[in-house]
């Protein structure tokens, strides 16, 4: 029966209450009748009965407690109560939920990025055995060296070589420039992946050069370009003008071992001369274009594997000093183009993680402050609840329920924000001609992280106010002296003070960091590029893709250039194999005349561009001395070059290298004369130090890769359309890529800094929002605590100014203390930031002052409303109120 | 606050015993239990009447009392309490330990000072 009742009360709490009321009423009525029968009047009987019974509400509460309603029911009641509280005070709830949502949302996004880049294992068999083989100076090897390593190591189950390569894929006569992999026959076996359809190629499919026209499609390509054709296996596709058999389709989600690179097709390595027509390097010891992966034998450590490969490397250096002297092998984790790629990603993501943790911490401090402030409003209510018999555990549970509810709501909203942002990030395609993709679909670990983060926040920062409330001293609160009682308690005051100061300090660091990075970005944008990107349009294509030979290619390049020069509105046009700050940068070995030969990996290198006459002026590169190339610098005439200032200083040790000669090529090749000097610029990245660069006449050195550069006041898009049309009339099979204004293309070089600046600005803004809500809550708290005190002061003649000082003096002192701490933290953090952010000085007084003023302003704004309330306090009602 | 709670504990224990005893004599509603306690204690024990109900709810929750709704002498709906088997054995135990306690305290209070 009791169990039944218990169940009933769980299901129908209302019935429990009704029955209790009825029982009490029955008692009272019976008693009243008893007194009337003793001769009392009805009024007196009612009074006596009530007196004898005692506090009805108190006994009801005790009955409920005695009945010990099921915990779930209690939680339900607490939740309803908490919801009512939120409805009654939506401003507080919104501030708390929004700040938590932002904090948790940001954390979740950054954690997903962190997880997908650095924690998630690659979709291959036993990924921890697979290592990336790099050298001390780069991530690539010559193919002959790959063979040597593969055949002479005993510590590896296998070494696979691969190469990212652009390809021209023709489907239904429509040429598409795609990116793919040339991979050795053991590539798929070594990674241990299973095809989604058909089969992969194996070592026996990759033995003879040019004899294995096979292609494996990526899952996405199969879906997008071939409409998930179930009968694709055995069909044929045309790549770079040759027919390839489709062997199979890679499993969904498999995209090789580089996290950012999503190739569309894999072709056996032995097809390299066909894929990269005119540049066969399978037997060339000087072309270092092969990337190597290794699978260690079980039980072999990376150090042992590295030592084993170095044994081979020493042998190579001994046998082939021209190409391999000084060769050292280093193993690193796969995924981010070796250690060179992993380190910056780790620094960047790690920095972000640190930053968002600071944001979350600020949000938590905020919640704690708001709960404290709120608890001041509720002290009276809690005192009443406890006086009518609610136990201290009950009150704590109630407060914790409320803070947990807030944090869970905040967490849910944060998760929604995170999911939306992650979706955007995964869909995002970098504005470059390269299959860059980041897959940050949040998985269960991310959800777990967000859930734990929000719950921990709620409990941790609800606990303080909960404990302080449950210890509420009934008498002093009910007598109206609570304000004083709390203020006397030194510990609590200093805790709140700590919150304000800490929040301001963290806020200062975040705002300072974001301004610093924005300043850095501005510095970079104002930096001399060494060329003038305004009004320049670039259009790239590769005459090697339709398999033109050199004569055909050269004829095509010249013909298209002539036609483009005749287009209306074109000031000038030229072409080159590549342009500065594009993705495609090449270096070559160079050596001053008469210098000791530096061989192999120790040789001096310079970036090089092969350019047509007029390129320098079209691209806006200033010629400082000497002359540009002309029509006479062709094959058969003496080798000439234009170099930049850094080349003069670093390679030739002179400020005016015009007329000097140097040796070109690995290990001291032919002699070249410098005929022109141009200004230094940026070539690979915007933050690089001066880099030696040499320009070759493209009429002397043919290259099938072509980037047309056009200077015109017309819109870039119009130029692109015109040029595409021209190319289409000349060869409809030639795919055009990388077309657009030079400024847009530079967006890629600027992208990391843009991303950092946007992220940091968002965080800075977020920090200010958080600080404003937090300070507002705390000042409101202080004012409401001291309403009585202010009332007395006004009553004895305090002026508005004195009230203002009374309310704000301490808060402002705390703000200043916070800012001072913030400045020292910011200086320390700025030191670290200045290594990432170009040309930004963390000691910039203007910047520090700006942040200082901004924060002071924010603090003032957030104090505004509660202060105004304090000024309006009417002494009479204030004293009566308490 | 703490001291108050301790005192309430002591009172509760005694009240529980009295309630069990009163109900053991027959089915009763809440008000009836109050009257019965007054009657059997010769009105020597007075309690605040509301305090009876938390005790009743507690005992019911501990399965010492059973409840059912019935009709009172003056034809009104009332909630009646009866003793369960567990309640009966609890009453016995409590009665014994109460007697022991009373005996011990009485003996202690009756002791004469032997040495000054």
Cβ within 8 Å, pair A6-B61: yes
Q: What is the DSSP string of A549-585?
A: -HHHHHHHHHHHHHHHHTSTTEEEEEEES--TTSS--
State the ipTM, two decimals: 0.84
Chain A CB contacts of B57 below 8 Å: 63, 66-67
CA distance B98 to chain A (A): 23
Q: B58 Cβ partners below 8 Å, 6+ apart?
A: A66, A67, B12, B16
Cβ within 8 Å, pair A26-B60: no
Decide: pTM greater than 0.95: no
Q: What is the DSSP string of A516-540?
A: HHHHHHHHHHHS--SS--TTEEEEE
Cα–chain center distance at A596: 47
Q: A357 Cβ partners below 8 Å, 6+ apart?
A: A107
User: What percentage of chain A has pLDDT greater than the value 70?
Assistant: 75
Beta carbon pairs, A and B, within 8 Å: 72
Compute chain A's Rg from CA coordinates: 37
pLDDT one-digit tens code per residue, A197-227: 888 888 887 788 878 888 888 888 888 888 8
Give the count of alpha carbons within 13 A of A74, CB side only. 20
**HEC string for A455-502:** HHHHHHHHHHHHHHHHCCCHHHHHCCCHHHHHHHCHHHHHHHHHHHHH
Q: What is the pLDDT of residue A5?
A: 43
Compute chain B's Rg from CA coordinates: 17
Around Cβ A330, how many Cβ atoms within 10 Å?
Answer: 18
Chain A CB contacts of B30 below 8 Å: 23, 26-27
Mean pLDDT of chain A: 76
The stretch A763-780 carries a mean pLDDT of: 73
Strand runs (DSSP E) across chain B, as ranges?
Answer: 28-29, 65-71, 77-83
Helix H or strand E encompassing A198: strand A197-198
Cβ within 8 Å, pair B61-A67: yes
Q: Across A17-26, A236-245, A516-525, A594-603, which has the greatest mean pLDDT? A: A17-26
A→B contacts (Cβ < 8 Å), by residue, are: 1-2, 5-6, 19-20, 22-24, 26-27, 29-31, 33, 52-56, 58-59, 62-63, 65-68, 474
Chain B CB contacts of A54 below 8 Å: 48-51
Q: Is the pLDDT of residue A33 over 80?
A: yes
CA distance B95 to chain A (A): 23
Task: Determine the Cα–Cα distance for residues A711 and A617; give it in Å rounded to an integer.
Answer: 9
Chain A CB contacts of B55 below 8 Å: 66
Q: Which two tokens stand for residue B115?
A: 């040495």
Chain A CB contacts of B60 below 8 Å: 2, 5, 67
Indicate the SS3 state at residue A426: helix
Residue A879 confidence class, pLDDT cut points 50, 70, 90: low
Q: A812 Cβ partners below 8 Å, 6+ apart?
A: A859
Q: What is the DSSP string of B94-116?
A: HHHHHHHHHHHHHHHHHPPP---
Cβ within 8 Å, pair A59-B51: yes
The stretch A590-600 carries a mean pLDDT of: 68
pLDDT higher at A515 or A539: A539
Cβ within 8 Å, pair A68-B63: no
State which residue of chain B sits closest to A30, comparing Cα positions.
Answer: B31
Cβ within 8 Å, pair B49-A52: yes
pLDDT one-digit tens code per residue, A101-135: 877 787 777 777 777 766 666 777 777 788 888 87
Residue A280 confidence class, pLDDT cut points 50, 70, 90: confident
pLDDT one-digit tens code per residue, A606-626: 888 988 888 988 988 888 888
The residue assigned the tokens 């929750």 is B61
pLDDT one-digit tens code per residue, A50-74: 888 888 888 888 887 777 655 555 6
Interface test with B, best of A62, A388, A390, A473 (most B CBs within 10 A): A62
Cβ within 8 Å, pair A31-B1: no
Q: What is the pLDDT of residue A251?
A: 86
Q: Is the pLDDT of residue A839 over 80?
A: no
Task: Determine the Cα–Cα distance for residues A265 and A262; give it in Å rounded to an integer.
Answer: 9
Q: Are A331 and A305 in contact (CB under 8 A)?
A: yes
The stretch A491-514 carries a mean pLDDT of: 71
Q: What is the pLDDT of residue A149?
A: 85
Cβ within 8 Å, pair B49-A24: no
Q: Is the pLDDT of residue A468 over 90?
A: no
State which residue of chain B sits closest to A25, comparing Cα positions.
Answer: B78
Q: What is the pLDDT of residue A634?
A: 81
Q: Are A31 and A24 in contact (CB under 8 A)?
A: no
Chain B CB contacts of A6 below 8 Å: 61
Chain B CB contacts of A19 below 8 Å: 79
pLDDT higher at A828 or A43: A43
CA distance A392 to chain B (A): 11
Could you give the C-alpha distances from A602 to A599, A872, B109, in angstroms and in order? 6, 79, 106
A757-776 core/surface letters (b: 16 or more CB in 10 A; e: else): bebbbebbebbbbbbbbbbb
Q: What is the pLDDT of residue A490?
A: 37
pLDDT one-digit tens code per residue, B97-115: 888 888 888 888 887 776 5
Task: Determine the Cα–Cα distance for residues A599 and A669; give it in Å rounded to an integer.
Answer: 12
Q: Is the pLDDT of residue A485 over 50?
A: no
pLDDT one-digit tens code per residue, B23-57: 998 889 989 998 888 888 776 666 778 888 888 88
Cα–chain center distance at A709: 33
Mean pLDDT of chain B: 79
């Amino acid at each position: 029966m009791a169990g039944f009742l218990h169940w009933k009360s769980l299901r129908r709490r209302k019935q429990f209450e009704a029955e209790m009321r009825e029982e009490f009423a029955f008692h009272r009525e019976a008693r009243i009748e008893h007194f009337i029968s003793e001769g009392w009047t009805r009024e007196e009987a009612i009074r006596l009965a009530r007196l004898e019974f005692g506090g009805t509400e108190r006994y009801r509460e005790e009955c409920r407690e005695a009945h010990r309603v099921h915990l779930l029911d209690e939680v339900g009641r607490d939740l309803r109560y908490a919801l009512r509280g939120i409805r009654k005070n939506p401003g507080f709830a919104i501030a708390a939920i929004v700040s938590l949502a932002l904090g948790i949302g940001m954390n979740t996004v950054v954690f997903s990025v962190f997880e997908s880049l650095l924690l998630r294992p690659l979709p291959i068999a036993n990924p921890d055995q697979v290592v990336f083989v790099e050298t001390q100076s780069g991530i690539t090897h010559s193919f002959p060296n790959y063979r040597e390593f593969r055949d002479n190591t005993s510590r590896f189950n296998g070494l696979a070589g691969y190469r990212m390569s652009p390809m021209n894929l023709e489907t239904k006569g429509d040429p598409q420039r795609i990116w793919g992999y040339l991979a050795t026959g053991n590539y798929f076996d070594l990674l241990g992946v299973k095809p989604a359809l058909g089969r992969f190629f194996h070592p026996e499919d990759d033995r003879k050069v040019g004899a294995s026209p096979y292609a494996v499609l990526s899952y996405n390509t199969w879906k997008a370009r071939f409409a998930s054709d179930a009968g694709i296996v055995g069909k044929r596709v045309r790549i770079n003008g040759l027919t390839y058999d489709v062997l199979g389709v890679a499993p969904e989600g498999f995209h090789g071992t580089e996290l950012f690179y999503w190739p569309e097709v894999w072709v056996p390595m032995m097809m390299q001369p066909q894929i990269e027509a005119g540049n066969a390097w399978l037997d060339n010891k000087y072309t270092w274009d092969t990337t190597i992966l290794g699978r260690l034998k079980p039980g072999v450590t990376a150090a042992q594997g590295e030592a084993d490969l170095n044994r081979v490397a020493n042998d190579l250096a001994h046998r082939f000093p021209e190409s391999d002297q000084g060769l050292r092998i280093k193993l690193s984790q796969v995924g981010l183009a070796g250690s060179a790629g992993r380190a910056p990603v780790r620094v960047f993501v790690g920095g972000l993680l640190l930053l968002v943790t600071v944001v979350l911490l600020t949000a938590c401090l905020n919640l704690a402050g708001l709960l404290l402030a709120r608890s001041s409003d509720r002290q009276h209510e809690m005192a009443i609840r406890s006086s009518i018999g609610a136990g201290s555990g009950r009150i704590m549970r109630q407060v914790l329920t409320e803070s947990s509810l807030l944090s869970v709501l905040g967490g849910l909203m944060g998760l929604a924000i995170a999911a939306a942002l992650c979706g955007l990030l995964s869909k995002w395609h970098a504005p470059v001609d390269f299959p860059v993709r980041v897959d940050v679909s949040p998985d269960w670990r991310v959800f777990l992280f967000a859930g734990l983060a929000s719950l921990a926040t709620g409990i941790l920062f609800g606990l303080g106010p909960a404990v302080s409330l449950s210890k509420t001293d009934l008498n002093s609160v009910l007598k109206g002296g609570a304000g004083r009682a709390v203020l006397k308690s030194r510990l609590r005051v200093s805790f709140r003070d700590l919150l304000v100061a800490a929040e301001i300090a963290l806020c200062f660091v975040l705002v300072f960091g974001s301004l610093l990075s924005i300043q850095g970005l501005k510095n970079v944008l104002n930096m001399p590029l060494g060329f003038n990107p305004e009004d320049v349009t670039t259009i790239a294509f590769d005459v090697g893709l339709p398999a033109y030979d050199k004569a055909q290619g050269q004829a095509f390049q010249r013909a298209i250039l002539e036609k483009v020069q005749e287009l209306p509105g074109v000031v000038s046009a030229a072409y080159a194999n590549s342009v500065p700050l594009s993705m495609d940068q090449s270096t070559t070995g160079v050596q001053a005349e008469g210098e000791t030969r530096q061989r192999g990996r120790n040789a001096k290198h310079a970036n090089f561009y092969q350019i047509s006459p007029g390129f320098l002026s079209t691209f806006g590169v200033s010629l400082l001395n000497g002359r540009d190339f002309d029509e006479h610098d062709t094959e058969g005439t003496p080798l000439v070059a234009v170099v930049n200032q850094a080349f003069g200083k670093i390679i030739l040790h002179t400020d005016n290298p015009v007329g000097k000669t140097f040796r070109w090529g690995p290990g001291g090749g032919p002699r070249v004369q410098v005929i022109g000097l141009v200004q230094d610029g940026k070539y690979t990245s915007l933050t690089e130090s001066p880099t030696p660069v040499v320009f070759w006449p493209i009429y002397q050195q043919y290259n099938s890769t072509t980037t047309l550069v056009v200077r015109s006041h017309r819109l870039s898009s119009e130029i692109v359309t015109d040029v595409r049309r021209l190319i289409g009339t000349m060869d409809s099979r030639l795919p055009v890529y990388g077309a657009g204004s030079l400024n847009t293309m530079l967006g890629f070089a600027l992208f990391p800094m843009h991303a950092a600046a946007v992220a940091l600005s968002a965080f800075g803004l977020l920090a200010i929002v958080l600080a404003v809500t937090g300070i507002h809550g705390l000042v409101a708290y202080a004012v409401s605590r001291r309403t009585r005190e202010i009332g007395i002061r006004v009553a004895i003649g305090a002026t508005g100014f004195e009230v203002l000082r009374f309310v704000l003096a301490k808060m402002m002192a705390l703000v200043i203390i916070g800012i001072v701490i913030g400045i020292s933290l910011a200086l320390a953090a700025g030191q670290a930031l200045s290594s990432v952010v170009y040309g930004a000085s963390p000691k910039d007084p203007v910047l520090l002052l700006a942040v200082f003023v901004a924060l002071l302003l924010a603090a003032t704004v957030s104090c505004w409303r509660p202060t105004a309330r304090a000024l309006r306090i009417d002494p009479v009602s204030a004293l009566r109120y308490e | 606050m703490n001291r108050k709670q301790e005192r309430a504990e002591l009172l509760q224990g005694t009240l529980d015993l009295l309630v069990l005893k009163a109900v053991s004599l027959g089915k009763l509603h809440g008000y009836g239990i109050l009257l019965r306690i007054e009657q059997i204690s010769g009105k020597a024990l007075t309690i605040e009447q509301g305090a009876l109900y938390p005790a009743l709810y507690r005992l019911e929750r501990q399965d010492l009392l059973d409840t059912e709704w019935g009709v009172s002498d003056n034809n009104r709906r009332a909630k009646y309490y009866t003793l369960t088997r567990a309640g009966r054995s609890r009453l016995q135990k409590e009665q014994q330990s109460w007697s022991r306690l009373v005996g011990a305290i009485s003996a202690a209070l009756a002791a004469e000072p032997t040495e000054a």
